[in-house]
Chains A and B, each alone.
Chain A
Amino acid sequence: MTVIAVIVFVVAYVLIATEWTHKLLAALGGAAVLLALGVTDSEHAFYSHETGVDWDVIFLLLGMMVIVGILRRTGVFEYIAIWAAKRAKGSPLRVMLLLTMITAFASAWLDNVTTVLLIAPVTLLVCDRLGINPVPFLIAEVMASNIGGAATLIGDPPNIIIASRSGLTFNDFLIHMAPLVLIVLVVFCLVVPWLFRGSFEVDPDKVDNVMRLNEKEAIEDRMLLIKCGLVLLGVFAGFVGRSIFHVEPSVVALLGAGVLVLISGVATKDYMSSVEWQTLLFFAGLFIMVGALVKTGVIGELAQQVQQLTEGKALFAVMLILGVSAVLSGIVDNIPYVATMSPVVLELTKGIPDPTQAEALWWALAIGADFGGNATAVGASANVVVIGLALRAGHPISFWEFTRKGVVMTAITIVVAAPYLWLRYFVLA
C-alpha cells in the first residue's frame, strides 16, 4: 500500500508540475485511484482531519470566494487604483509603486488571484493611456501580490492550509508574518526602480490622458459598497476575535458570505460565478492523496529522515525549510507543495522542545512557499493568471521574461526573511 501511495502521488505530482494533464484531473484521478485500490477509504478520506479532506480550508475558500464575488461588483478597487494613478500624476515609477502597494495590501485580505484579476485591467488601462509597456507593471504587481498575500491567514491559500494543519490563528499570522511582509515591501520599493529600469519613460503629452479618467464613475452602487464594507468588517472581526468567539475562520467566512448574499440582492449566478469549483476540487484531491501518504506512514518516515538530516538543530531545520520551499515553490505550484509539506513539518515540530522555535518551522514554510511563488512564471496561480491577461491584451510575457525578474526578487526576499527568522525566533526569543 505504501508503494502504491507513493507511486500514485509522484505520478500525479509530475502531471501537475508539467501540466501534461489538467491539474484537477491529476489530483482527482490520483485520489480516485487511491480510493479504488483501498490505499485509503471514505472514513480516512472524508472524515479525518489528519488523513482526509480539510473541510475548514475548502469552506474558508468557498466563503471568501462568494464575498469577493460580491465585493468586486462595487468597483471600489478600480476607484482606489485610478485615484492612486492620478495622485502619481502620470509618473510611471510612482504609478508602479502605488499600484504595487495597493496590490500588496489588497492581497493580504483577498486571495492573490482575485487581487491580480482586479488590478490588471486597471493597470492595462493606465498604461494604455500613458502609452507605455504594461508588462513590467503587471510583473511587479503579481510579485507584490505574492508578497502581500503572505501577511495574513487568508492572504494566500498555502497560509490557509498551514493555519489549519498547525492550529495557528489569524492573529498569529498578523503578528509573525505581517511585520516581515512590511520589511520586504520596503525593500521591494527600493529594488523595483532598478529591476525594471528603462520602463519608466513616458511622453509628457499622454499624462493628461490619465488625469482625465474619472474614478468616481467606477462606483455604481454605493449602498452595495457600504453593505460589503460592513460585512467585511464583521468577518475580519470574527477572524481577529477567534479566541473570544471560538468560531473557526471557515465558519466566519461562510456566515459572512451568507449575510452578504442575503443583504446585497446580487443574483445567485453572479456571485456563484466567482466560486472556483475547480480549485476547491483540486484541493480536495490533493488532501486525499497527501492523506494517503500520512495514513501509510510515508510522511512520518520522511519527517524522520529530515530530523536525522538536521540532527534536531532547529535553526538548521528552519533555514532548510525556508530554502527548499522557496526553490520548490518556484518549480511547482505552492499549493500542492504546502499541502504535502504541512504534515512533514507537523512531525518535525514534535521533535523540537522549544515551542517558539518549533513554530518558526511553520513560518519558514509559509515564507518560503509564498515568496518562492514569485520565482518563475508558474510558481503561483496569480502569475499564470496575469500572464494570461497580458496575452489577451496583446502584451505576451514569456516564461523567461518573468522568471529573470522573479528569481532575483525571490532571492532578495528570502535573503531578507532569513535573518528575520534567525533574529526573531533564535536570537531575540
Chain B
Amino acid sequence: MGEQFPVVGLDSDAREAVELLASRRLPGLIVVDPNGSPYAVLPASQVVRFLVPSYVQDDPSLARVIDESLADQVADKLAGVTVRKLMPSEPAELPVVNHDDTVLEVAAIMARLRCPLVAVTKDRQIIGAITASRLLELVVTPH
C-alpha cells in the first residue's frame, strides 16, 4: 500500500523543502539522517508552526493586528535555515511501519502519533510512504 514519496535530509535547505511541500500539496515530508535512515516525519503543520511567530501562537488576537503586507514577511524566516531547524524541539516518535504491516497496524500508528504520514521501510531502508488520505482510500474502497 506504500507509495513513492519524496525524502529530504536533515541538512537540506528549508526553503526548498517547503517549496516541495507546497508545490506537490504534500501532508508532510520524510526526513532522513546523513546515512539515509528515516529520522522523522515533518508534518506540514509543523512547518506552519515554525513560520508563525511564537507571540502570535501565544496570543492569536495579534494575528489580526498585523496587516497582510507584514504577514507576507513570515516566509523570510526560511532564509539560510536547514530542515533540522524546522523540526520540533522535543524529538517525536518516528512514525514508521514495515512493508508487510496491515492496514490496521498502519492506522493504529497514524492515530496514536496523530501523524498524516508514515514512512514504510524494508531492511531499515525507506521504500515509500503512506499518507492519511491513501489509508482512507484503502479503507473505503470496496475490494
Contact = CB atoms under 8 A, between A and B. Distances in A.
Interface stretch (A57-65, A265-273, A386-394): A386-394
Interface in A83-116: none
A215 B65 contact: yes
A397 to B, nearest CB: 14
Contact of A213 (B56, B58, B66): B66
A125 B74 CA distance: 12
Contacts of A71: none
Contact of B55 (A75, A82, A128, A217): A128
Contacts of B56: 121, 125
B65 A82 contact: yes
A389 B64 contact: no
B93 interface: no
Interface in B44-61: 53-56, 58-59, 61
Contacts of A78: 59, 61-62, 65
B61 A218 contact: yes
A338 interface: no
B54 A393 contact: yes
A214 B67 contact: yes
B70 A209 contact: yes
Contacts of A49: none
- Is the contact region of chain A dominated by helix, strand, or loop, or is it mixed? helix
Interface residues of B, number: 14
A281 to B, nearest CB: 25
A247 to B, nearest CB: 34
A145 B55 CA distance: 19
A214 B53 CA distance: 17
Nearest to B59: A121
Contacts of B61: 75, 78, 217-218, 220
Interface in B1-57: 53-56
Interface residues of A, number: 24
A393 B59 CA distance: 13
A129 interface: yes
Given A125-B62, A220-B61, A212 B54 contact: no
Contact of A217 (B53, B54, B65): B65
A124 B56 CA distance: 9
Contacts of A214: 64-65, 67
A86 to B, nearest CB: 11
B58 A129 contact: no
A122 interface: yes
A253 interface: no
A214 B70 CA distance: 12
Report which residue of A117, A125, A220, A392 has the largest number of chain B beta carbons within 10 angstroms of its beta carbon: A125
B58 A121 contact: yes
Contact of B65 (A120, A213, A394): A213
Interface string A122-142: 101100110000000000000
A121 B62 contact: yes
21 contacts: A78-B61, A117-B58, A118-B59, A120-B58, A121-B55, A121-B59, A125-B55, A125-B62, A125-B66, A212-B67, A212-B69, A213-B66, A213-B70, A214-B65, A214-B67, A217-B61, A217-B65, A220-B61, A393-B53, A393-B55, A394-B54
Given A217-B61, A220-B64, 16 more contacts: A82-B65, A121-B56, A121-B58, A122-B55, A122-B62, A124-B54, A125-B65, A129-B70, A213-B66, A213-B70, A214-B64, A214-B65, A218-B62, A220-B61, A389-B54, A389-B58
Interface of A: 75, 78, 82, 117-118, 120-122, 124-125, 128-129, 209, 212-215, 217-218, 220, 389, 392-394
